[in-house]
Amino acid sequence: DGGITQSPKYLFRKEGQNVTLSCEQNLNHDAMYWYRQDPGQGLRLIYYSQIVNDFQKGDIAEGYSVSREKKESFPLTVTSAQKNPTAFYLCASSTSGPQHFGDGTRLSIL
Amino acid sequence: AQTVTQSQPEMSVQEAETVTLSCTYDTSESDYYLFWYKQPPSRQMILVIRQEAYKQQNATENRFSVNFQKAAKSFSLKISDSQLGDAAMYFCAYRSNSNYQLIWGAGTKLIIKP
């Protein structure tokens, strides 16, 4: 079945450590997105990419980095510069229609 | 810049009753899309319904329907015959026709009373 796969489901980060969240889609969508969601809050856009090898910062890009080397993949790295990384991270993809979402990754600090 | 406002942080409804969630938006564009997404406690983000601005007819998906008032920039979601499984956060979102990014509302928490 076509869809978006995020892994891992749960991730723990130590102080000063970079961690990478995986997002893979087999929907043949051009655009991909990363969102952050804090408890009881809405979604905030971290980064998005509309085409391979190109991506743009969203509203809260500081402390995060991404790459888009393949159409199917859009990994997000949470760097040590992100001082408050504990949140729920959602990846999405789309063409001209609605965005489709993965099941999310919960990131916590050890 | 476009904005989306959901003025009801929380709503509650008796099971089997009807509830309406409100959403207003601001845009200077004439061609755009509007969406309602549902996020249950599992935190999956599920598309409920979508509306193209050029269509005058209100979208309907089973028990879910919208009241799209383009001039008033209003896009409310009506849930008929509410079920316990409808309990979730509901987010309204706007998308320009020229840009795939979504502009999100803050969400409304829907509680279903058995």
SS3 B85: helix
Residue B2: pLDDT above 90?
A: no
Share of chain B above pLDDT 90, in %: 91
Q: In a mutagenesis test of the A interface, which of B45, B48, B92, B111 is the best target, namely the one with the most A β-carbons within 10 Å?
A: B45
Q: Residue A87 is which amino acid?
A: A
Is A54's Cβ below 8 Å from some Cβ in B?
Answer: no
DSSP character at residue B99:
-
- Residue A48 has its nearest CB partner, among B47, B101, B105, at B101
How far is B114 from B111, CA to CA, in rounded Å? 10
- Residue A42 has its nearest CB partner, among B43, B46, B91, at B91
Q: List, for residues B84-102, the tens digit of each pLDDT value.
A: 999 999 999 999 888 788 9
Contacts of B41 (CB under 8 A, 6+ apart): B87, B88
Overall average pLDDT of the B56-80 stretch: 96
Q: Which pLDDT band, with edges at 50, 70 and 90, does B1 fall under?
A: confident
Dihedral angle of Cα A62, A67, A68, A72, to the nearest 10 degrees? -100
Nearest to A38 by CA among A110, A101, A109, A107: A107
Comparing alpha-carbon positions, the chain B residue that sits nearest to A101 is B45
Share of chain B above pLDDT 70, in %: 100
- Residue A104 has its nearest CB partner, among B33, B43, B102, at B43
Residue B44 with chain A: CB contacts under 8 Å: 101, 103-104
CB contact under 8 A, B100 and A43: no
How far is A27 from B22, CA to CA, in rounded Å? 32
Q: In a mutagenesis test of the B interface, which of A74, A94, A99 is the best target, namely the one with the most B β-carbons within 10 Å?
A: A99
SS3 B84: helix
Residue B101 with chain A: CB contacts under 8 Å: 33, 45, 48
Length reported for chain A: 110
Q: State residue A97's pLDDT score.
A: 85
Residue B81: pLDDT above 80?
A: yes
Q: Which pLDDT band, with edges at 50, 70 and 90, does B6 fall under?
A: very high
How far is A19 from B48, CA to CA, in rounded Å? 33
Share of chain A above pLDDT 90, in %: 83
How far is B68 from B57, CA to CA, in rounded Å? 8
- Residue B79 structure tokens: 């849930």
Ramachandran angles phi, psi of B86, nearest 5° = -80, -10
Overall average pLDDT of the B45-64 stretch: 95
Q: What is the DSSP string of A36-55?
A: EE-TT--EEEEEEEEETTEE
Q: List, for residues A36-52, the tens digit of each pLDDT value.
A: 999 888 899 999 999 99
Q: State residue A25's pLDDT score.
A: 97
Q: How far is CA A61 from the centre of its chain?
A: 11
Contacts of B72 (CB under 8 A, 6+ apart): B24
Residue A1: pLDDT above 70?
A: no
Residue B64: pLDDT above 80?
A: yes
Q: Which pLDDT band, with edges at 50, 70 and 90, does A91 fall under?
A: very high
Q: Could you tell me which residues are beta bridge partners of residue B77?
A: B21, B66
